[in-house]
Chains A and B, each alone.
Chain A
């Protein structure tokens, strides 16, 4: 790869016009989706809209497209970036000119992404992210791949070269982990299907309400009711019909999970550089991002019973103030157990997972029990009004679930503390382990309600720059000593949190 000169202001790849055009068109369609929908519907019904002929409509469409294209060209022409020794400079904007300067030392992350359109015309987008809010984030939407890689290297290398030898940095890299399709398939199958089910359901209900009137024309409601009537003649038929419905729901939900897992995590790779970890993944949206250990705030390891049996663990890496949309990209799925501990050792030094595990107080169960009681009430009260007292048997199902919830959540709750790390375990169906480094703590909170005060129980809430972690319901004096210990460690160490 020949070295590329970034010191002069330059534009994106010419293909950028196409990408910006695509983005703008998409934005436009999204914003006026409802309007266009109404427009389309009335068009299909009456063959005209506001007395406009078909020719007019075509002309209007072309004009709109031309305007979007012109905007795209102008955006492209006004978008210039360059890199100096310490800073990244960017100027953009058609009417409101905007100049941004980011010091290299403040760059948190550089991603390389590729969506479907970008894959077709073979360019990538580069996202430069700082620890600030979403607005300070920068996206260069179309660069040739090797230029993008070179830019990324320039942005990172200069900063690290103060401490490291540059040559070593660039050459020493090895693939640490690569997810095979089989593991991804298993990962998809063992996911929480309930979540997928809810997503599908809400999607369909949303569609249904959007098109309610349109659908009523087809009398679908009556047709469905007709078929249900036919099949619910006998109890056996009724049971079979319900089983078929459940079966279909399970199949569709798991299919959805599998497809989603595949699309998001296709070709998942974890590459290890000298000091950084790089993650590549994605089918439609290809993402490539690097993690610098000093910026990591929390590590969350997740698995569930089925996944543990299959040897599948998920590690999410939380960095400071990354917006919710991007947080997903930090998830590394389908790791084996030994890989998890290796990865943790790579990301945080001297982590010791064999410490004694402390449990919360028995009071924890009382809180879970109250939660469950409220849940059962929430189920029961509307059910009583809708079905009357006939369907009380639903509590026979709910009660064991509640007991299981209480038992599991207590069983999985624990915490570990040593000089540098806090580890908190939680979860009900999932088993979640949260790891945080003590010197990255932002603030510590000691929390106690008046009911807990009588029983000498309290919680400690630890905030880092990306997540709040709670050590729930432990003995008051213990909580107090943890609280003091954490503050002592943070205040006496001179380590930076980022």
Chain B
């Protein structure tokens, strides 16, 4: 599918056309950027997490809402990621990995740093306790 699109693009678009169409391309990217920002702001309300005795739940998505639950027993490892931007704002991303395919991994973004630390410690303790 992907190759098909690439192929047809190569077929139909000449280099010259690409040169002329550059302003349009930039405009399209701008529109996508604004839309993305809007959706991001609206979808923020839908991002929720919960920590229960035996599992951790994360819910997200504005148009397609999904709620994923990972039993703590099945967690392989847990990661706390802070890049320079989130360090500046005092935030952290918590990544929770299972043995499943990438779709079953949780990534909770934009947690307050100490909250992330707390969850991290709680889960690590639980995971180590069960082994």
Contact = CB atoms under 8 A, between A and B. Distances in A.
Contact of A445 (B63, B68, B99): B68
A444 B106 CA distance: 11
B64 A449 contact: yes
Interface of A: 131, 320-321, 441-450, 453, 461, 463-468, 483, 487, 490-491, 497-498
B23 interface: no
B99 A442 contact: yes
B12 to A, nearest CB: 11
A86 to B, nearest CB: 18
CB-CB nearest 8 A-B residue pairs: A442-B100, A463-B104, A443-B104, A463-B100, A491-B54, A447-B66, A442-B98, A446-B67
B65 A448 contact: yes
Nearest to A490: B71
B101 interface: yes
B111 interface: no
Which of B54, B63, B65, B104 has the largest number of chain A CB atoms within 10 A? B104
Contact of B74 (A443, A445, A466, A467): A443
Interface of B: 54-55, 62-71, 73-74, 98-101, 103-104, 106
A448 B106 CA distance: 18
Contacts of A448: 64-66
Nearest to A444: B69
B64 A443 contact: no
B100 A465 contact: yes
A497 B62 CA distance: 33
A60 B55 CA distance: 64
Contact of A463 (B54, B64, B73, B98): B98
Contact of B70 (A442, A453, A466): A442
Nearest to A463: B104
Contact of B104 (A446, A450, A468, A487): A468
Nearest to A442: B100
Which of B62, B68, B106 has the largest number of chain A CB atoms within 10 A? B68
10 contacts: A321-B99, A442-B74, A443-B100, A443-B106, A447-B65, A450-B62, A461-B66, A463-B103, A465-B98, A483-B69
A370 to B, nearest CB: 14
A276 to B, nearest CB: 21
Contacts of A443: 68-71, 74, 98, 100, 104, 106
A58 to B, nearest CB: 39
A344 B66 CA distance: 32
A497 B64 contact: no
Given A448-B64, A448-B65, A461-B66, 9 more contacts: A131-B99, A442-B70, A445-B69, A447-B64, A465-B100, A468-B100, A468-B101, A487-B55, A491-B54
B64 to A, nearest CB: 4
Contacts of B66: 445-448, 461
A444 B99 contact: no
A453 B65 contact: yes
A486 to B, nearest CB: 9
B55 A449 contact: no
B131 to A, nearest CB: 10
A487 B71 contact: yes
Contacts of A446: 66-69
Contacts of B63: 449-450
A442 B64 contact: no
Contacts of B68: 443-446
